[in-house]
């Protein structure tokens, strides 16, 4: 009997040793897995290899915000540039570029060399400087953030609520945890604060929701199809600078081009026209019609410039003037602070967090 007990103890010891070696082999295969009792305390929760797979998959789903932006804006150059998302605005935008490039090309091809060879440097240099400024201001108006207030899904996905409250001075979520319209303080309503049912945020005074870009924009002036972007607090000075520079460019270029071509030998020009082919005549007539349209566009730009000078002098935006909305905080339209961008377009977010709940769409 004693021998049988000793043999049983040895067998059970060998089985325990095998189990311990098996455990060591399993831990070697999965070194990141925490085993029960590894810390020397009982009740430790096992973190298996399978429980880490979902978190790894979620990290793989994280993408920059600009790639999954929930509204209609489009981003270019890895999110550096942004513009409006309306497909109907590409034709007006191309028309603006054509009205700038057509007379400028005529000037730089014919008038510029003629004046330069004659020693008249002032006008060519001035036209080159104003043309460069016009192109820059147009690109800046088209491709910069007009002052977008991020919608509820973006605020929650990026966790930028405290930063927004520090920048704007109020909680854009309105203290609502479920996205339903909160009861705004009557004092805030008289100051111009409104609840946006589309973005489900509280927007500040003078801000408005743009149906083309599907965003709320600070100090919203209008959505301009010719620049394919909203004009608001952060790009209004670019817009006004653009219409000012394009008016000056027209005053410099168009008279110079007309004077140059009118000074040519008319008889020689008529002979060359009569000897030109039919396709060449059509092209020349088309060019003449284009010049006339450019002159008309220049006159319209002068009217537009005068209109915005009036708005700036009265501290109103286009929307406020058209709808007789008072400027409740008496903030200037042009010289007010531009303010920071209210969202980080490169922050990594989960695309699922930007989906609008079904009850919010109703």
What pLDDT does residue 235 have?
95
**Lowest-pLDDT choice from 181-195, 201-215, 276-290, 308-322:** 276-290
**Lowest-pLDDT choice from 8-12, 189-193, 334-338:** 8-12
| 48 — pLDDT class (breaks 50, 70, 90) | very low
What pLDDT does residue 357 have?
66
Compute the distance between CA of residue 324 and CA of residue 125 in angstroms, rounded to an integer: 44
pLDDT at residue 283 tops 90: no
What DSSP string describes 117-164? HTT--HHHHHHHHHHHHHHHHHHHHHHS---EEPPHHHHHHHT-HHHH
310-322 average pLDDT score: 93
What pLDDT does residue 191 have?
87
Q: What angle do CA 301, 294, 122 make, to 5 degrees?
A: 80
pLDDT at residue 151 tops 50: yes
317-335 average pLDDT score: 88
What pLDDT does residue 258 have?
87
**Lowest-pLDDT choice from 122-131, 181-190, 343-352:** 181-190
List Cβ neighbours of 350 (8 Å cut-off, separation of 6 or more). Answer: 58, 61, 62, 157
State both tokens at 25.
């082999």
Which amino acids are annotated catalytic? 224
User: Is the pTM for the entire model greater than 0.75?
Assistant: yes
């Amino acid at each position: 009997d004693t021998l049988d007990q000793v043999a049983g103890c040895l067998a059970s010891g060998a089985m325990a040793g095998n189990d311990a070696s098996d455990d060591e082999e399993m831990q070697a295969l999965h070194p990141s897995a925490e085993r029960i009792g590894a810390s020397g305390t009982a009740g430790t929760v096992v973190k298996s290899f399978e429980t880490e797979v979902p978190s790894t998959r979620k990290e793989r789903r994280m993408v920059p915000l600009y790639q999954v932006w929930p509204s209609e804006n489009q981003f270019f150059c890895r999110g550096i540039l942004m513009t409006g998302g309306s497909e109907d605005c590409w034709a007006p935008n191309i028309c603006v570029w054509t009205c700038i490039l057509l007379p400028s090309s005529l000037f730089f091809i014919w008038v510029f060399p003629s004046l330069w060879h004659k020693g008249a440097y002032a006008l060519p240099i001035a036209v080159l400087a104003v043309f460069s400024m016009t192109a820059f201001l147009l690109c800046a108006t088209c491709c910069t953030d007009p002052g977008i207030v991020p919608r509820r899904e973006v605020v929650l996905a990026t966790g930028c609520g405290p930063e927004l409250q520090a920048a704007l001075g109020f909680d854009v979520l309105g203290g609502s945890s479920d996205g339903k319209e909160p009861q705004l303080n009557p004092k805030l309503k008289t100051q111009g604060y409104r609840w946006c049912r589309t973005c489900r945020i509280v927007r500040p005074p003078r801000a408005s929701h743009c149906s083309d870009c599907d965003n709320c924009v600070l100090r919203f002036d209008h959505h301009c199809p010719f620049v394919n972007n909203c004009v608001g607090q952060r790009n209004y000075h670019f817009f006004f600078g653009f219409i000012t520079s394009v008016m000056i460019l027209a005053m410099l270029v168009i008279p110079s081009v007309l004077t140059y071509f009118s000074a040519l030998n008319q008889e020689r020009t008529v002979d060359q026209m009569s000897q030109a082919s039919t396709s060449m005549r059509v092209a020349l007539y088309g060019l003449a019609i284009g010049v006339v349209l450019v002159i008309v566009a220049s006159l319209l730009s002068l009217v537009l410039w005068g209109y915005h000078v009036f708005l700036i002098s009265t501290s109103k935006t286009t929307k406020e003037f058209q709808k007789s909305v008072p400027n409740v905080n008496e903030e200037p339209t042009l010289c007010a602070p531009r303010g920071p961008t209210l969202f980080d377009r490169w922050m990594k977010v989960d695309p699922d967090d930007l989906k609008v709940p079904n009850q919010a769409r109703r």
